[in-house]
């Protein structure tokens, strides 16, 4: 490699990395049991079509399908590209301990689940936008951190049922909008969406040798929204007796659970997004990962907080704070 090499290319290989790679100076970072090997490659001067100018919102909801850096090798289908979902945020304790995911809906407002933050005080939370690899600061665009000023949970959140499982985090300072930091759109009543080609992303848990751990690198999974009646039937049949008489509350929607797909929940608080039927490059958030299945092998959908149903809560609380979406 020559001195002209300038840009970090983020390349994901597999869980089982040959340890001989880690002895090679061309691979400055090896993570055993996680999913990444990061190496240096030559800069690509091409600009992805969906990248916006730093500090400027062209419009909400535009996904960077190919990421913000060039790829030299194919990555696993379940791994997000760097900057692919610029509204994705990570919510943690100030010491960096992961709590849950969330989504940026305004420069100073994050949408997440109530059950993850209802027992917290603002000083216990930190929000990171523009993140991809949680263990690395060596990325083309730096992530940004913000403290939380206020936590607003739904007044009718049910601790036992998780009905109305939604919360807003009002930040101390607004994020600077960059190609890797942009808001997601919220649907309106007349928004026509493609509910078949939806995506969930996050740093949810995986199991390695039977031990649960949070993902280091942002992942994604393709899902379809499941009709309520089908979701109820699948859960009654495939889950334990607790669900035998399940009647799905209106504050939930279901997605996934198709046998044969390699799908997993992406992490509580993370967004479920679906494309605009008339503009497939633009996405709207329809759900928030609330609680869900043990995996597609059980043929059980995941349950998501229904953003459309809960939209009035979001708009009312933000209007009270003087925030317009």
Which residue is catalytic, options 143, 165, 194, 279?
Answer: 165
Q: Which residues lie below 8 Å from residue 292, measured CB to CB, with a gap of 6+?
A: 256, 265, 300, 301, 302, 303, 304
**How far apart are alpha carbons 150 and 124 in whole angstroms?**
11
Contact call for residues 166 and 288 (beta carbons, < 8 A): yes
Catalytic-residue membership of 56:
no
Tokens of 307: 């953003």
Q: Where are the beta strands (DSSP E) in the chain?
A: 7-12, 29-30, 36-41, 88-92, 98-106, 109-112, 126-129, 144-153, 167-171, 198-202, 205-208, 211-214, 219-223, 225-226, 252-255, 271-275, 283-291, 302-306
Q: How far is CA 99 from CA 151, 208, 246, 269, in A?
A: 14, 20, 28, 9
Cα distances from 21 to residues 13, 32, 41, in angstroms, run 12, 11, 16
Annotated active-site residue 133? The verdict is: no
3-state SS, residue 281: coil
SS (H, E, C) 115-184: HHHCCCCHHHCEEEECCCECCCCCCCCCCEEEEEEEEEECCCCCCCCCCCCCEEEEECCCCCCECCECCC
Beta bridge partners of 206: 213
Contact 103/94 with Cβ under 8 angstroms? no
Sign of the C-alpha dihedral computed for residues 196, 197, 203 and 209 taken in this order: positive
User: Across the strands, what pairs with 185?
Assistant: 284
Q: What is the largest CA-CA distance in the chain?
A: 66
Catalytic residue among 115, 116, 133, 143: 115
User: Any idea which residues carry the catalytic annotation?
Assistant: 115, 165
């Amino acid at each position: 490699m020559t001195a002209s090499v300038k840009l970090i290319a983020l390349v994901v290989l597999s869980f089982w990395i040959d340890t001989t790679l880690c002895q090679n100076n061309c691979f400055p970072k090896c993570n055993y049991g996680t999913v990444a090997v990061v190496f240096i490659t030559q800069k690509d001067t091409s600009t992805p079509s969906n990248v916006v100018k730093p500090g400027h919102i062209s419009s909400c909801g535009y996904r960077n399908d190919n990421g913000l850096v060039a790829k030299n090798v194919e990555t696993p289908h379940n791994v997000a590209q760097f900057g692919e979902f610029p509204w994705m945020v990570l919510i943690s304790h100030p010491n960096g301990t992961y709590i849950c995911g969330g989504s940026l809906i305004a420069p100073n407002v994050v949408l997440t689940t109530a059950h993850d933050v209802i027992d917290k005080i603002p000083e216990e939370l930190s929000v990171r936008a523009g993140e991809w690899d949680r263990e690395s600061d060596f990325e083309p665009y730096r992530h940004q951190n913000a403290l939380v000023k206020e936590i607003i949970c739904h007044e009718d959140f049910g601790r036992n049922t998780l009905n109305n499982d939604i919360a807003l985090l009002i930040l101390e300072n607004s994020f600077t909008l960059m190609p890797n930091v942009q808001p997601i759109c919220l649907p309106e009543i007349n928004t026509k969406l493609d509910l078949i080609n939806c995506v969930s992303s996050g740093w949810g848990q995986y199991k390695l040798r039977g031990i649960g751990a949070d993902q280091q690198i942002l992942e994604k999974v393709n899902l379809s929204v499941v009709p309520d009646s089908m979701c109820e039937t699948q859960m009654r049949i495939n889950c334990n007796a607790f669900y035998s008489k399940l009647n799905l509350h209106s504050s939930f929607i279901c997605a996934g659970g198709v046998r044969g797909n390699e799908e997993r929940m992406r992490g509580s608080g993370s967004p479920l997004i679906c494309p605009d039927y008339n503009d497939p490059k633009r996405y709207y958030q329809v759900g928030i990962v609330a609680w869900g299945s043990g995996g597609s092998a059980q043929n059980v959908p995941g349950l998501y907080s229904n953003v459309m149903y809960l939209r009035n809560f979001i708009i009312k609380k933000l209007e009270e704070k003087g925030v317009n979406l």
